Amino acid sequence: MTQTVQRGESLGAQVARVLRQRIVRGELALGARITEEALAEEFSVSRGPIRDALTQLSFEKLVEVQRPRGVYITGLTGDDVDQLYSLRGALEQLALSRAMRVDDDARWQAMAAAVARMGEAADAGDHAAFVAADLEFHSQIYALADHPRLQGAWNQYLPTFTALLEVTINHDDDLHESSGDHRTLMDVMRTGTPEEAAEVLTAHLDGARDRMLSELAERRG
């Protein structure tokens, strides 16, 4: 089936997003071979955007480019998931500790708005809207940290964590618990100690990691 791409966003980024979703969902199996030619035909784009997409996915360790033989899916193993979430934990703990120094209430409004949207999405059972608000919440931790290089590191891995969240969020029929977890994290960042906030964040990210590991275990069946 031919995939359609939008002309606003970078074509390579769009192709990478679709392929990333397929890999994280397990639709492209470990070791599967794909080619630039087949992808260019499927997405109706030239080889350039395809190469851009594959370069990005190679950086994310989701594919291995072996020219001229082709491109092979390396996928996600349990060790990959552990590495991704341990990296995110290290980044986000630093961001959190810096964000907690911000006293200006106005700067916290974007995070509060994301929490409100999560609540609305939970009430509606809207997983896609919940994912968007969830990612905005965590991005706000980095924005509040006032550390451009740290925020840049998060943005580099944000596409991967978006794909992971899109998978793990489907393990939750009721999104209210996750919505409440984010409200708790925001509240403890505003009124708790750094140690309390770090503990809440660790539990939150450990839960996300465990859900993804469960997903991989189910696939191996």
Q: Is the pLDDT of residue 160 over 80?
A: yes
**170 pLDDT band (50/70/90 cuts)?**
confident
Rounded CA-CA distance 39/45 in Å is 8
Q: Which residues contact 168 (CB under 8 A, 6 or more apart)?
A: 208, 211, 212, 215
Q: Give pLDDT, residue 95.
A: 98
Q: Give pLDDT, residue 9.
A: 72
Rounded CA-CA distance 152/91 in Å is 11
Q: Give pLDDT, residue 4.
A: 56
One-letter amino acid of 121: A
One-letter amino acid of 14: Q
Rounded CA-CA distance 2/102 in Å is 48
Closest CA to 186 of 136, 124, 137: 137
**68 pLDDT band (50/70/90 cuts)?**
confident
Q: Is the pLDDT of residue 3 over 70?
A: no
What dotted CATH number matches 11-73? 1.10.10.10
DSSP the chain: -PPP--SSS-HHHHHHHHHHHHHHHTSS-TT-EE-HHHHHHHHT--HHHHHHHHHHHHHTTSEEEETTTEEEE----HHHHHHHHHHHHHHHHHHHHHHTT---GGGGHHHHHHHHHHHHHHHHT-HHHHHHHHHHHHHHHHHHHT-HHHHHHHHHHHHHHHHHHHHHGGG-S--HHHHHHHHHHHHHHHHS-HHHHHHHHHHHHHHHHHHHHHHHHHHH-
CATH of 78-220, one of 1.20.120.530, 2.40.50.140, 1.10.287.130, 3.40.50.300: 1.20.120.530
Question: Taking all residues of the chain, what is their mean pLDDT, rounded to a whole number?
Answer: 93
Q: Is the pLDDT of residue 23 over 60?
A: yes
Most confident of 4-13, 30-39, 100-109: 100-109
Average pLDDT over residues 138-145: 98
Rounded CA-CA distance 102/146 in Å is 9
Average pLDDT over residues 170-199: 95
Q: Is the pLDDT of residue 162 over 90?
A: yes
Average pLDDT over residues 196-205: 97
Average pLDDT over residues 160-184: 93
One-letter amino acid of 180: G
Q: Quote the pTM value.
A: 0.89
Q: Give pLDDT, residue 173.
A: 84
Q: Give pLDDT, residue 219.
A: 84
Q: Give pLDDT, residue 8.
A: 54
Please report, for the chain, the start and end positions of each structural domain, with discontinuous segments joined by +: 11-73, 78-220
The answer to which of 14-28, 67-81, 89-103, 113-127 has the lowest mean pLDDT is 67-81
